[in-house]
Structure formats: structure tokens, C-alpha cells
Amino acid sequence: GTTCSEDIDECYDPTKNDCGKNGRCENMPGTFKCVCQIGFFRTANGECIPCDTTKYGQDCLNNCSCAMTNT
């Protein structure tokens, strides 16, 4: 059969990907993936939203807490 050897960069044209304003598009052979910016995480519907106040970092995987002893 016929094979396609020219990759289309879906990240070049924002209308060809759905990464949104808080996401970053990464082109891959034959496809793309969206990665949320640091301080955001991807919801089930694909939207990147901010971490809550107890999380931080890439995909909100790091825990944090406030030391209230000096307040």
C-alpha cells in the first residue's frame, strides 16, 4: 500500500490542535499531544486549569502547605 512520509505539524496552526491557552502543543510523528503549562493540569474534557492552593508544578503533582505558626 501507499505510505505517507511527510508529517503535518499540527502545532504550527492552532486551528489544527485543541491545546488551548494554558496548554503547549508538542508535535509527534503522525499526531500531536497537548501538555499543560507548569501550574496547570488537564481535566477529563482536555482543558488545562490552574492547580488548587495545595498543589504546584507540572500537572500539579507536587504537594504544598502553609506554615501558619507565624501568622
Confidence (pLDDT) at 46: 86
Confidence (pLDDT) at 5: 75
- Domain ranges in the chain? 14-63
Of 53, 43, 52, nearest to 20 by C-alpha is 43
CATH class of the domain defined by 14-63: mainly beta
Of 51, 49, 50, 46, nearest to 32 by C-alpha is 46
Confidence (pLDDT) at 35: 94
Q: Across the 71 residues of the chain, what is the mean pLDDT of every consecutive 10-residue run?
A: 75 88 92 94 92 91 80 59
What torsion, rounded to 10 degrees, do the Cα atoms 52, 58, 59, 61 define?
A: -70
Confidence (pLDDT) at 15: 87
Task: Indicate whether this model's pTM tops 0.85.
Answer: no
